[in-house]
Structure 1
Amino acid sequence: MLTEIENKTQSKKKGHFYLFLLTLLIPSLLFSQDETGKQNPETKTELAPKEQTPAIRVTGKKDTDREYLGDVEGTNIYSGKKSEVIKLDKTNANLALGNTRQVYAKVPGITIWENEGSGIQPGIGARGLSPNRNWEFNTRMNGYDISSDAFGYPEAYFNPPLEALEKVEIVRGAGALQYGPQFGGMVNYVVKKADPSKPVKVETKTTGGSYNTLNQYSSVSGTVGNWSYFVFYQGRSSDGWRDNSQYNLQNGFVNLSYKVSEKLKISFEMSKSTYLSQQAGGLTDEQFRVDPRQSGRTRNWFSAPWNVPALVIDYEQSPTARLNVKAFGLYGERNSVGFVSAANVADPIQARTLQYGARQIDRDTYRNFGVEARQIFNYDLLDRTHTLSFGTRYFNGNTDRFRNPNGTTGTNFDLRETNFTNVCYDGTRNCRVADLQFSTLNYAGFVENLFRITEALSITPGVRYEWIRSTASGRVNESLPSERNPFGGIIQPKERIQRQVLYGLGAQYQTTKTTNLYANYSRAYRPVIYSELFAPTATLNEVDPNLKDQTGYNADAGYRGKFGQWLQFDVGVFELRYNNRVGQLPGILPGQANFQTNVGDSLHRGAEAFVEIDPIVALTESQPYGSVSFFTSSANVNARYIRWEDPRVLTNPTSAQNFYRVGKLVENAPSQIHRYGITYHYKNVLSFTYLVSYTGAAYSDAVNTVNPTANGQIGLIPSYTVRDFTFVWNFYENFSLRGGVNNLTNEMYFTRRAGGYPGPGIMPGDGMFYFLGLSAVF
């Protein structure tokens, strides 16, 4: 039964739904059309089958800002898998500030958390999965890990500057076989490469905007003999849209490559990021209604120094065989200090000293190392050429985590610990509330084979094996173990070993040279290890110590491609099963903390569609006044619990019936996400894009609580519509001007209700923002 709030917006949703159905029908009506001959051949870099020349083929392609991955690219097989490629140099978006909704505008179904306008931390999800710092995606840069810990704490605190990227690759759930068991799939940021034709190429971009925002990006690249290099630096600072939301960040990157021979290339890369941001904190619903820009926190800060070195070896044994080896590391930190009580609790001032009280310190230190090796080659069987890809992975991650409520009483960023007054398990007073050590050891192997059954039909079976060992040790500050905290003081070292076999099958049918049908099924898995069990060190929630591993599958099917240069599309359906979901339940008693536990199983079904059409190009060969393209990127998602329970009350049959709710909507999973846009292009001189982004209402908890709690942490997240305008003007040779307005109508909205940092409470999205930037290439 629809809630009262849902009924109020039903007519708006129907309008979006009818337009979504229209986008599904357009490609179907055109399915039987012949090729017009106006399109350029697609660019695909792959190992060629026997029916073609058995070597790597590179051909030209249409100049567009959105594509999908080829059947084989590098050492990876993508045939039959849903994928998207965003070419950032062709995208009209606020790249200087990393505006996510603009960057992913043409990727249907992407859910975005927009709780800060700095673009520092990514936050995307898909198909009803949580957007929490890319939590459900395997997040990579140039093919290697950049998140905290792929299993123990897969949050991405580092986001490379978009101005430095060539493209962003997204592989949906089926990516689990090649990259790991995440339900969302894989996101890979691909950094620009050295210019092979020049010894020195310089690019510089300066962008200014509202709230004293200033962004500077510069890069130098080139090729000298067998050496090539690419170096960039980015610095950005701003006062922020909300009170107490200033930030300052710096990013740097170095790539140095040496071509040993025609077949062997060795590259060294180093990424370094450091930033400091003031956290404005969360709001209650009443505070948001009165003034979304207000802040009750003046002493909350966050920083995350991030260092990622990598060594990459590419070896082409023959025209039909390649080897790629990546060795990578991470030394990073997550540091926060502040007052983290609910939004309706003021930062207290001590009556005796008239000073603020001590702030809470939360710190993580990550020390990771990993190696991935991938091999791919062609072989002949039954008069056809097929492609085999296989690889192995080793990963060793170590996390140190501590929490101390006795930080300094000042207002600036300060991680010093003072005044140890907590009585520890051993009777001393010199301990922290939590001092924990986690480790993850992972061995994995995968194999996939692209079987070309006919000239048009291919299938790709695959299997992956994961071996994961997790350990936890340390102590939490508790005088004695108790029912409230069964861990007690000193934690006995714990070890957990998990073994998992994942498998999948993809299929693809080439309907024309530029269109194909695809389908894929893949098992998914997400382990629960001890860093999640001890989540209270970073949030205001209580955690069930008996959390279970999460298992399930992804399945999707669709039709994609292009007709001439006037139409491109990707429409499809999907089903995702997520067992033993970890969710948040409100406290049973008034004032009781939220409870994080396995709340049940969910089933996510829906349809996704991207369609872009250029009527001027369709009608005429000549465009003296430019061309206009219209696009829609839409998703309808029905993500519901098919098994739901509260383990706190299942021992009481009467209470259990009251808390058992099959059919509830999954939290943070809006049922409709629609983005519509129009882009005008005039030769290679001028272009502008007007984008409308609509996101439907969602719930913040598994119970589907509508009326918000007093602290703003639980309740409905209303639907919202945001409009953006962006332009690019190449006014003189290598000089260009880029600018625009984000949130053109100054919509007041929020995308999440946080249970802890950076809240807790409502996290408002940014209001209207102007920006203008000058770029030059030499």
Structure 2
Amino acid sequence: MRFLTFIFFIFFFSIAFSQNKGRIAGSVKSTSNEALPYCSIYLSELNKSTQTNEKGEFSFENVEYGNYTISYFLLGYHKVQNKIELNESLKIIKVKLEVKSEQLKSFQLEGEKEGVGDVQRMRSIEGLTISQGKKNEVINLSEINANKATNQGRQIYSRVPGLNIWESDGAGIQLGIGGRGLNPSRTSNFNTRQNGYDISADALGYPESYYTPPTEAIKEIQLIRGAASLQFGTQFGGLLNFVLHDEPTTSGKAFEVTARQTIGSFDLNNTFLSVGFNSSNWKGYSYFQHKKGNDWRPNSNFEVFSGAVNVGKYLSEKTFVNIELTKMYYLARQPGGLTDKEFYTDPYQSKRGRNWFEVDWNLFAFNITHEFSSKTKIKTQFFGLSASRKALGTLGNISRPDRTYENRNLITGEFKNIGNETRFLQLYDVGKNSWAILLGARIYKGYNRSRQGDADSTDLPNFTFNEKQTQGSDYEFPSQNIAFFAEHIFRIGQKFSITPGVRYENIITNADGSYNDIVYDLAGNIVFDTTFFEEKTSKRSFVIGGIGLNFKASNKLDIYTNFSQNYKSINFSDMQIQNKNFKIDPNLRDETGFNFDLGFRGVIQNKLNYDISGFMLLYDNRIGEIDQVDEQTFIPYRYRTNVSKALIRGVESMVEVDLWKIFVSDSSDFSFRTFVNVAFTDARYTESQSSAFKDKNVEFVPALNFKTGLNISYKKFGLSYQYSFVDEQYSDATNAGKDSEGYLVFVPNAIIGVIPSYHVMDLSGKYDLGQLKFELGVNNLTNEVYFTRRATGYPGPGIIPSAIRNFYFTIQFKI
């Protein structure tokens, strides 16, 4: 019934607004009279955009009579802007663009993406990325009204359906998002990038992201679902790309300085400074952030330093180069997890006072973009990482007290990798149709060293191993990867396109090191103590493919579908972490499967934005976690293994509408937007060899994920309200945590069990005076007590309570 309501709502307004209005139509050609496809056309007064078809034709439907400014943008051609008066039912425009000698610079000029409000959609060709026929979202950070100082994921990703967000700390230091049954842990199931290059620890052996760029420095966030596997890597989640500012945030400025200061609950203090410039053949953007606070539970103080420099230069009219350097360092005290009983009795408490976490993340990138002609360009990108992660504290069962006289456990990770990715894009004509081909290659070499052992017994952040070690491990994980990929847009007629793609992967992962194995009797005496040495090598080569279809039924309706294969290699770097709460199957196998999407989307007169789709994700050899009991100690623990084949199906929908523009005035400074984001998901294990898993729910999958909100703005003022509801979900493959009658069962170590459903509200406001801007808000408005994850190790183990009600206030000064 809800689905039919959506359909009726969309097409009702499509018809209603067609009366007493005109149509603007036309064509765009070169000075040599060639039709120009893919030209971006922007109608500024209505904030509407479109693209020319393969014949160079375009149209804007149902436009009110009046005076308008239309801009035309196309790679390799001079920008054209003209004014028109619409006073009849049909206005025909014919525009000719002149080839620009400084072709590359014209490519940097972008028309508006299609969308309403905070979320838009990528063009069919976005830079050197093909997104035609793929489910995608673009989050415009300049439009977001949220707590940017704490990277509040619940607000920032509110218009992206189906995302499951872990809240591990109140400061937003680490991002954890998943979707479609994928583990949200440090966003490891997405190919996570910044400005197009890798930022995770090790793209092959350890694809977890300990670094998240500050929201205040981000221009937009691009998401392409599982179909991104062919262009960006084989992960099931797809692409998550943070596009940072690379010039002044205000269009037309040659130099800009922005200072932001945020204070908030629990001693939050965030300072953000940025400088942007665009002068002659140079442009760039740099930022610095310092954030500190105490969070809301005891033993949870933190301090973060981050900064970046991005400088680019046009070496010639066709060649642009830029270099990027990024650094983040943070030190955080972690209060540890709680048992179920402790959480429901007093979620404010902390049972761990000696746990610390330190991250030092350093990224670099060097890019060269060259344009051979208006239809041919290439980009090569060199990137690298030198980073470390150190976790110090007590990993023992959270139901037992921390014996402060005992040595703590220290786990360190060193990550060094380097790579290159090169992309070549060619647009060409076949008959009356314009086609496009993208070719790419990637080479990557990674090195990951993981050590574990005893550290001192103090409560200080001393990340040093003791001289004499009684247990632990020391492993090196070198890896190599060579990949080639291709995608092609075949346009058939004016409305239909086919986009097939293929990717070849050659992956080599190694594990070389040693670990101690110690067995105790029930009295705590050592009965077995030995050191094992291992050397493992895994080589595999394979080809995956996919195809996307897109049918543009009208300027208001796109119908799309996509099928793409996926592949995820096992994480060798997890294989020998010694943790009494957590063990890993030594015979883990790689995961394979596919993503399938079918949906329709569009924008109606910049008043209604919708994207409604169904999906299916098949996950073979899915790695999951089950409950086991140690035969010697009888202590329960989580066992990570290939659980079963998983089939995940659902509907993801997002509709945003400006009610004021629909019912009151189309040209008013007042706006009243509302959105509804709903995802229904059914995720089951199938074809399992064990009855313990068959037909069980896949972990980390809420059956209903619902968000809605209101956004009211008038000239310089804006106010946003958001309500979020996430249904209950399981944290392991056996669906432990409920008895046969559906009542909750508490497991003593709290690392498995149900994550109950929760709802939370947020309120944010802003007042923009140009150079001066004020922002304030309340997160968790009604002070709900809830949690989103059960941790097996750090920052737990156990239940990690989410932040209680908290306030923030930001003042921004820009010159």
Give me the TM-score of the superposition, normalised by structure 2.
0.86
User: How much has 1:661 moved relative to structure 2?
Assistant: 3.6
Indicate if the aligned counterparts of 1:197 and 1:222 stay in contact, CA closer than 8 A: no
Of residues 359, 362, 372, the one that matches 1:317 is 372
Per-residue CA distance 1:76-130 (angstroms, 9 max, x = gap): 1100000000000101111111000000001111100012111111100111211
> Matches of 1:465 and 1:616 in 2, distance apart?
50
- Structure with larger RCO (C-alpha < 8 A, sep 6+): 1
Task: Quote the residue 1:574 is aligned against.
Answer: 615
Structure 2 residue 658 is the aligned partner of structure 1 residue 614? yes
Indicate if the aligned counterparts of 1:538 and 1:757 stay in contact, CA closer than 8 A: no
Task: Quote the residue 2:732 is aligned against.
Answer: 701
Structure 2 residue 447 is the aligned partner of structure 1 residue 414? no
> Matches of 2:311 and 2:759 in 1, distance apart?
44
Indicate if the aligned counterparts of 1:441 and 1:470 stay in contact, CA closer than 8 A: yes
Of residues 703, 722, 728, the one that matches 1:671 is 703
Per-residue CA distance 1:251-300 (angstroms, 9 max, x = gap): 10001111101110000000000000111111001110111111000010
Indicate if the aligned counterparts of 1:754 and 1:761 stay in contact, CA closer than 8 A: yes
User: How much has 1:33 moved relative to structure 2?
Assistant: 6.8
Structure 2 residue 334 is the aligned partner of structure 1 residue 290? no
User: How much has 1:582 moved relative to structure 2?
Assistant: 0.8
Q: Larger deviation: 268-277 or 31-40?
A: 31-40
**Structure-to-structure mapping, 1:50-199, within 5 angstroms:** 51=56, 55=75, 58-60=110-112, 64-195=117-248, 197-199=252-254
- Would you tell me which structure has more strand in proportion to its own residues? 2
Indicate if the aligned counterparts of 2:621 and 2:642 stay in contact, CA closer than 8 A: yes
User: How much has 1:532 moved relative to structure 2?
Assistant: 3.5
Task: Quote the residue 1:333 is aligned against.
Answer: 388
Instruction: Give the direction of change, closer, same or farther, for the CA distance of 1:199–1:626 in structure 2 (3 Å limit).
Output: closer
Indicate if the aligned counterparts of 1:45 and 1:72 stay in contact, CA closer than 8 A: no
User: How much has 1:491 moved relative to structure 2?
Assistant: 2.5
Task: Quote the residue 1:452 is aligned against.
Answer: 491
Task: Quote the residue 1:270 is aligned against.
Answer: 325
Q: Read off the aligned partner of 2:714 and give its amino acid letter.
A: Y
- 2:297 counterpart SS class: coil
Indicate if the aligned counterparts of 1:24 and 1:609 stay in contact, CA closer than 8 A: no
> Matches of 1:149 and 1:693 in 2, distance apart?
33
Indicate if the aligned counterparts of 1:50 and 1:380 stay in contact, CA closer than 8 A: no
User: How much has 1:520 moved relative to structure 2?
Assistant: 0.3
Structure 2 residue 806 is the aligned partner of structure 1 residue 774? no
Instruction: Give the direction of change, closer, same or farther, for the CA distance of 1:274–1:548 in structure 2 (3 Å limit).
Output: same
User: How much has 1:37 moved relative to structure 2?
Assistant: 6.0
User: How much has 1:479 moved relative to structure 2?
Assistant: 7.8
Of residues 271, 277, 289, the one that matches 1:216 is 271
Indicate if the aligned counterparts of 2:292 and 2:304 stay in contact, CA closer than 8 A: yes
Task: Quote the residue 2:67 is aligned against.
Answer: none
Indicate if the aligned counterparts of 1:45 and 1:73 stay in contact, CA closer than 8 A: no
Indicate if the aligned counterparts of 1:577 and 1:604 stay in contact, CA closer than 8 A: yes
> Matches of 1:592 and 1:543 in 2, distance apart?
14
Task: Quote the residue 2:10 is aligned against.
Answer: 27
**Structure-to-structure mapping, 1:533-544, within 5 angstroms:** 533-534=575-576, 536-537=577-578, 540-544=581-585
Q: Read off the aligned partner of 1:165 and give its amino acid letter.
A: I
Structure 2 residue 781 is the aligned partner of structure 1 residue 744? yes
Task: Quote the residue 1:497 is aligned against.
Answer: 539
Task: Quote the residue 1:546 is aligned against.
Answer: 587
User: How much has 1:565 moved relative to structure 2?
Assistant: 2.2
**Structure-to-structure mapping, 1:290-439, within 5 angstroms:** 290-349=345-404, 356-404=405-453, 406-422=454-470, 433-439=472-478
Indicate if the aligned counterparts of 2:516 and 2:529 stay in contact, CA closer than 8 A: no
User: How much has 1:627 moved relative to structure 2?
Assistant: 2.1
Indicate if the aligned counterparts of 1:44 and 1:70 stay in contact, CA closer than 8 A: no
> Matches of 1:324 and 1:332 in 2, distance apart?
26
User: How much has 1:65 moved relative to structure 2?
Assistant: 1.6
Indicate if the aligned counterparts of 1:114 and 1:751 stay in contact, CA closer than 8 A: yes
User: How much has 1:622 moved relative to structure 2?
Assistant: 5.2
Indicate if the aligned counterparts of 2:116 and 2:607 stay in contact, CA closer than 8 A: no
User: How much has 1:485 moved relative to structure 2?
Assistant: 14
Structure 2 residue 644 is the aligned partner of structure 1 residue 595? no
- 1:703 counterpart SS class: coil
Instruction: Give the direction of change, closer, same or farther, for the CA distance of 1:383–1:414 in structure 2 (3 Å limit).
Output: same
Indicate if the aligned counterparts of 2:672 and 2:711 stay in contact, CA closer than 8 A: yes
Structure 2 residue 497 is the aligned partner of structure 1 residue 466? no
Task: Quote the residue 1:653 is aligned against.
Answer: none
Structure 2 residue 261 is the aligned partner of structure 1 residue 206? yes
> Matches of 2:701 and 2:368 in 1, distance apart?
40
Q: Read off the aligned partner of 1:528 and give its amino acid letter.
A: I
Structure 2 residue 724 is the aligned partner of structure 1 residue 724? no
> Matches of 1:537 and 1:210 in 2, distance apart?
37
Task: Quote the residue 1:254 is aligned against.
Answer: 309
Indicate if the aligned counterparts of 2:474 and 2:514 stay in contact, CA closer than 8 A: yes
Task: Quote the residue 1:281 is aligned against.
Answer: 336
Task: Quote the residue 2:676 is aligned against.
Answer: 632
Task: Quote the residue 2:27 is aligned against.
Answer: none
User: How much has 1:776 moved relative to structure 2?
Assistant: 1.2
Instruction: Give the direction of change, closer, same or farther, for the CA distance of 1:538–1:24 in structure 2 (3 Å limit).
Output: farther
Instruction: Give the direction of change, closer, same or farther, for the CA distance of 1:718–1:77 in structure 2 (3 Å limit).
Output: same
> Matches of 1:64 and 1:624 in 2, distance apart?
16
> Matches of 1:109 and 1:26 in 2, distance apart?
22
User: How much has 1:370 moved relative to structure 2?
Assistant: 0.7
RMSD over aligned Cα, in angstroms? 2.3
Task: Quote the residue 1:508 is aligned against.
Answer: 550
Indicate if the aligned counterparts of 1:45 and 1:56 stay in contact, CA closer than 8 A: no
- 1:175 counterpart SS class: helix
User: How much has 1:31 moved relative to structure 2?
Assistant: 6.4
Instruction: Give the direction of change, closer, same or farther, for the CA distance of 1:27–1:93 in structure 2 (3 Å limit).
Output: same
Give aligned pairs, total.
726
Indicate if the aligned counterparts of 1:42 and 1:59 stay in contact, CA closer than 8 A: no
> Matches of 1:251 and 1:738 in 2, distance apart?
22
> Matches of 1:331 and 1:543 in 2, distance apart?
27
User: How much has 1:457 moved relative to structure 2?
Assistant: 0.5
User: How much has 1:151 moved relative to structure 2?
Assistant: 1.5
- 1:553 counterpart SS class: strand
> Matches of 1:165 and 1:220 in 2, distance apart?
13
Q: Read off the aligned partner of 1:205 and give its amino acid letter.
A: R
Task: Quote the residue 2:99 is aligned against.
Answer: none
Indicate if the aligned counterparts of 1:23 and 1:610 stay in contact, CA closer than 8 A: no
Q: Read off the aligned partner of 2:165 and give its amino acid letter.
A: I
Q: Gapped runs of 5+ residues in structure 1?
A: 1-17, 350-355, 423-431, 647-658
Task: Quote the residue 1:426 is aligned against.
Answer: none
Instruction: Give the direction of change, closer, same or farther, for the CA distance of 1:438–1:44 in structure 2 (3 Å limit).
Output: farther
Per-residue CA distance 1:619-661 (angstroms, 9 max, x = gap): 2335657221111111001011112345xxxxxxxxxxxx444
> Matches of 1:129 and 1:60 in 2, distance apart?
32
Task: Quote the residue 1:654 is aligned against.
Answer: none
Indicate if the aligned counterparts of 2:168 and 2:174 stay in contact, CA closer than 8 A: no
| Identical residues among aligned pairs (%) | 34
- 1:489 counterpart SS class: strand
Per-residue CA distance 1:377-404 (angstroms, 9 max, x = gap): 1122233110000100001010010000
Indicate if the aligned counterparts of 1:245 and 1:277 stay in contact, CA closer than 8 A: yes
Q: Gapped runs of 5+ residues in structure 2?
A: 24-42, 58-72, 78-109, 520-525, 739-744
> Matches of 2:779 and 2:594 in 1, distance apart?
37
User: How much has 1:225 moved relative to structure 2?
Assistant: 2.2
Instruction: Give the direction of change, closer, same or farther, for the CA distance of 1:585–1:178 in structure 2 (3 Å limit).
Output: same
